[in-house]
Amino acid sequence: MKTELYSETGVGVRATKACFFVAVFFALMLLLNGDAMHQSAQRLEYGRVHDFWVAALRPLACVSRASGGDRLRRTAQASVGEWLNER
């Protein structure tokens, strides 16, 4: 017997499908923002927290730069981001 995956109204999304797309969203977010997150961590006050975040985000920044995700983010920020921030 098939388990009921939707609400009584028949509207809804499977939890596995939702989790998959949430994971894809976060992977893209990390890929596009990895270098910016690393630069932000470098501006933290020096100490253990600074050292931890710089060390933890360094590989992510390298992957972001190698894949070109940082260039895509900078292009989007330069073109659309400034226009959106004016509003």
Q: Domain map of the chain by residue range?
A: 30-86
- Closest Cα to residue 64, out of 45, 25, 38, 42? 38
> What pLDDT shows up at residue 1?
44
Using one digit for the tens of pLDDT, what is the confidence trace for 8-39? Answer: 666 677 888 889 999 999 999 999 999 999 99
Q: Please, what's the largest Cα pairwise distance for the chain?
A: 59
The token pair that represents 59 in the structure block: 């590989």
How far the first Cα of the chain sits from its last, in Å, is 53
- Distance, in Å, from the CA atom of 71 to the CA atom of 58, rounded to the nearest integer, reads 17
Residue of 43, 37, 42, 49 lying closest to 73 (CA atoms): 37
- Supply the pTM of this predicted model: 0.69
